[in-house]
Amino acid sequence: MAKNINTRGLHPPKLADRFLQWYCHPSLLEEIQGDLYENFSKNVQILGLKKARWIYFLLVLKFLRPSNIRNTHPKFSIIMWRNYLKTALRSMVKQKGFTFMNILGLTIGLTTALMILLWIQDEVSYDHFHDNGANLYSMKRNVYRDGGQIGTTSSIPKPLEAELESNYPEIESADLFSWEENFVLTHENTSFRANGHYVGETFFRNFTFPFIAGNPETALIDRNSIVISDRMARRLFGPSWEQDGNVIGKVIQVGIETFRNMTLQGVYEDMPSNSSLNFEFAISDKLYLQENEWVENWGNNGFHMFIKTRPDVDINELNTKIKDIINNHIPDEKVELFAQAYLDHHLYSDYENGQVVGGRIEYVRIFSFVAIFIMLIAAINYMSMATARSSVRAKEVGIRKTIGARKSDLVSQFIGESTITTAISLILAILVSVLLLPTFNNLTNKAVRIDWGNPTVWLSLLGLLFVVGLFSGLYPAFFLSSSPINKILKGSKTSKSGFSNMRRGLVVLQFVLSTFLIIGTYTCYQQIQYIKNKNLGFNKENVVYFPLEGELIQKYETFKERALKHESILKMTACVDPPTAIVRGTSGVIWDGRDPSADIEMAVAITDYDYVETLKMELLAGRLHSKEYKLDSANLVINEAAARIMGMQDPVGENIRMWGREGKIIGMVQDFHFSTMYDPIEPLVIRLDNLRSGSIFARLSSEQMEEGIGFLEDIHKEMNPDFPFTYDFLDENYAASYTSENIVATLASYFAIIAILISCLGLFGLALFAAERRYKEISIRKVLGASIPNIMVLLSKEFLILVFIAILIAIPIAWYGTRIWLDDFAYRISLGVEIFIFSGLLTLGVALITVCFEAFRAALHNPVDALKSE
């Protein structure tokens, strides 16, 4: 036919040709295509191939006129659809068991997917409520360490504020933002402890935290100003403070070392739960700056900073401009300044070598996968059950075909059915989700709710409906509509077990996903147990701690003396950072033989006497700080990691200099975990100092905890009456620092249970069906002498082989997946064989119970019932 043109290698564009063949009326196709070919071959000679092809394409489009288009069959007929709906409902009612299992499976799946969607939506919506959100940035710096490592931190030097504001017109304003402070706020006779920050003057102008009272523009101009949250206002002034008259201008005493009078200039609404900033009060940064001149130094990084840019600023350009600002002031270090979008702050907070590598976005990704997995498992259930039952619907299909239904009619009928089932399940799932939301919020520490006024919610629900409906209906639709009519109507069955390869594949896929989730959850759980129970290198049990503040700062020695007289209080110390989270560091430790150009950071524990003793760390060599030695505060105790980095086998007695003071290394303690398990133990020095802030730690005897705490409270009340006595347990504080890992592990375990549950539901349906189809076979076997176990093996063998294959496939995938997660931890469990064996056996066991239950029932049937009818 088209040989001549093809042999010359000059043929019209295939795509256009196919399009023409698709739309053109068959009776017109020959002449139109003929004319087009002829025209094309002429054009090739005159205008060249490229242009000819282009003209061909245009002409095909120009031929697209109503008169040339093939007849279209009416696509949508109300009467037919009414009939489809009727048959769909009838077949659902007729097979109540299957309908129930389908709807149950889909409801559980959709509920899980909805919950996960809500969780993801909440995570993604973090901080998006700020009107200026897109123009807010958080300043960060990359610090180039020796050995090529790059550390990323959001601590920046204070003088940067003025520099950015005056020299960079792209930046509208910059605000300092202090580390979190924990102060006591007192009004008249009510006192409460709360977390807050020193913030810059324009902070509340740039960030949208609406004020209930006061003016956000001017609230923090005066250096003795304070603004508090609604929650704090209710505590201090009573729940009806808004009605009780003006609170602006009232004096609040804030316990910063000693009490100071500050003027209340505003009350802001409680910060929403999807805000990454969440604090109860804010004080003007001017107060802090006035009293801490050291912050004026470019080498001291004492603050966070947020900036607001003009709306049209290209942040990459700005980042190139500001890159070297800090370096220009302190040339001997290599530091790179940059701004991270504030909206990215929540999800992308992990940096490695100066590049964003992730953060909570990883959990968002993991849970998205889980949602897809579970939906997939639920949809597969529908598919395999619908196709397994195909023989039941086969007669209907045959008759419809005989009467004149085309394949596309049947396909849309069956997809319609799956959509109806999905719609019913979706409605149920929404109801269940609404009921579960409070529990879910409790579990995840969120305030997620379904916002029915939001059109995206409706669109996503509709989207979910169509995707799931279409996906689960597609395969059954094609499967059912493509069997030849004569075979269906003659009543010949396709296969004896009703078990096609496709269905086998689907079962395997379901169990691969379930096993994967089980292994993942189990690993996650083990790792968290490992963290919780890991020997930290000190004893965190039976230790209470409370803030060192107010008069306690002066009277600490007396307080300690009095406390230790009580038999229940065994040891007492004080330190700036809790031993579970030592954040202070310095590069200013010098020892004999240190390479002077090397930049080596060491963590610093600033402590009182008895630090190591109270926390029961292990002294490996030398001695500890003691009052028997004069001038001991210049001497340091180091940890093993520090000794390693100094390259000393026996560090005790070596000279050491820190912050300008000459001293000796007097002792070495065993390495202990003072940071998270994500990081290896860093070098650390323990330094003796007079503390002006921090916490007091007391070790109590385990039998007399309550007496001990009671006694501490008594003397605290007596010696530091202005401050309430609030204490925490060190072990609880440690556990709380892994809250988000805990939540993830709990959620993951629920999801794994749900996945295996839905998979087994599907398996159960298939087993039920297989047993029904082989009813007569079973009966004859029984008559011929098969025992009940024989028949159970017969019925369950095939399923269990599939599950076994699935486990074999899932193990390497899960091994790989969990390795990636575990690699984040510096201290982690090793993936033992037992995890895989345990998970595999669990999956197999649950599947075995499911299948055997049905097989047992089938095997118990009286053969007469099945055989008498023929």
Partner 1 sequence: MSNIGTLEETVLLLVMIHNGNAYGISIAEAYMEHTGKKISIPAIHTVLKRLEKKGFLKSEMSGATAERGGRRKRLFEITQGGYAVLQKVQESRSSLWSQVPKFNFK
| Under rule CB under 8 A, residue 21 binds partner 1 | no
Report yes or no: 106 and 468 within 8 Å, Cβ to Cβ: yes
Q: How far apart are CA 336 and CA 140, in angstroms?
A: 8
Which C-beta is closer to partner 1: that of 67 or that of 830?
67
Which C-beta is closer to partner 1: that of 27 or that of 492?
27
| Under rule CB under 8 A, residue 441 binds partner 1 | no
| Under rule CB under 8 A, residue 38 binds partner 1 | yes
Q: How far apart are CA 155 and CA 295, in angstroms?
A: 12
* Residue from 18, 21, 25, 30 binding partner 1 (CB under 8 A): 30
| Under rule CB under 8 A, residue 33 binds partner 1 | yes
| Under rule CB under 8 A, residue 16 binds partner 1 | no
Q: How far apart are CA 121 and CA 409, in angstroms?
A: 38
Q: How many CB atoms lie within 10 A of CB 102?
A: 26
Compute the least distance from the CB of residue 62 to partner 1, in Å.
Answer: 4
| Under rule CB under 8 A, residue 333 binds partner 1 | no
Q: How far apart are CA 751 and CA 739, in angstroms?
A: 18
Q: How far apart are CA 625 and CA 617, in angstroms?
A: 14
The C-alpha torsion from 201 through 207 and 211 to 215, rounded to 10°, is 30
* Residue from 14, 31, 166, 331 binding partner 1 (CB under 8 A): 31
| Under rule CB under 8 A, residue 39 binds partner 1 | yes
Q: Position 330: which residue type?
A: I
| Under rule CB under 8 A, residue 41 binds partner 1 | yes
| Under rule CB under 8 A, residue 1 binds partner 1 | yes
Q: Interface residues for partner 1 in 46-85 (CB under 8 A)?
A: 59, 62-63, 65, 67
| Under rule CB under 8 A, residue 597 binds partner 1 | no
Integer angstrom CA distances of residue 695 from 20, 35, 260, 541, 634: 81, 92, 21, 17, 22
Compute the least distance from the CB of residue 16 to partner 1, in Å.
Answer: 13
| β-strand pairing of 258-268 with 225-229 | parallel
Quick one: CA dihedral 715, 719, 722, 727, positive or negative? negative
Which C-beta is closer to partner 1: that of 39 or that of 675?
39
Q: How far apart are CA 703 and CA 569, in angstroms?
A: 11
Q: Cβ contacts of residue 500 below 8 Å, gap of 6+? A: 387, 494
Which C-beta is closer to partner 1: that of 24 or that of 766?
24
| Under rule CB under 8 A, residue 760 binds partner 1 | no
Strand partners, 340: 138
Q: Which stretch binds partner 1 (CB under 8 A): 38-46, 376-384, 391-399, 449-457?
A: 38-46
Which C-beta is closer to partner 1: that of 47 or that of 583?
47
Which C-beta is closer to partner 1: that of 9 or that of 331?
9
| Under rule CB under 8 A, residue 865 binds partner 1 | no
Which C-beta is closer to partner 1: that of 37 or that of 827?
37
* x-or-dash string of contact with partner 1, 384-413, rule CB under 8 A: ------------------------------
Picking from 214, 202, 199, the residue whose alpha carbon sits closest to that of residue 268 is 214
Which C-beta is closer to partner 1: that of 55 or that of 443?
55
Which C-beta is closer to partner 1: that of 39 or that of 494?
39
Token digits of residue 227: 């603004």
Report yes or no: 726 and 716 within 8 Å, Cβ to Cβ: no
Q: How far apart are CA 276 and CA 345, in angstroms?
A: 8
* Residue from 13, 23, 32, 224 binding partner 1 (CB under 8 A): 32
Q: Tokens 């000693």 identify what position?
A: 258
Which C-beta is closer to partner 1: that of 54 or that of 775?
54
Q: How far apart are CA 333 and CA 352, in angstroms?
A: 19
What DSSP state is assigned to residue 808? Answer: H
Question: Binding-site residue total for partner 1 (CB under 8 A)?
Answer: 22
| Under rule CB under 8 A, residue 5 binds partner 1 | yes
| Under rule CB under 8 A, residue 868 binds partner 1 | no
Compute the least distance from the CB of residue 23 to partner 1, in Å.
Answer: 13
Return residues touching partner 1 (CB under 8 A).
Answer: 1-5, 30-39, 41-42, 59, 62-63, 65, 67
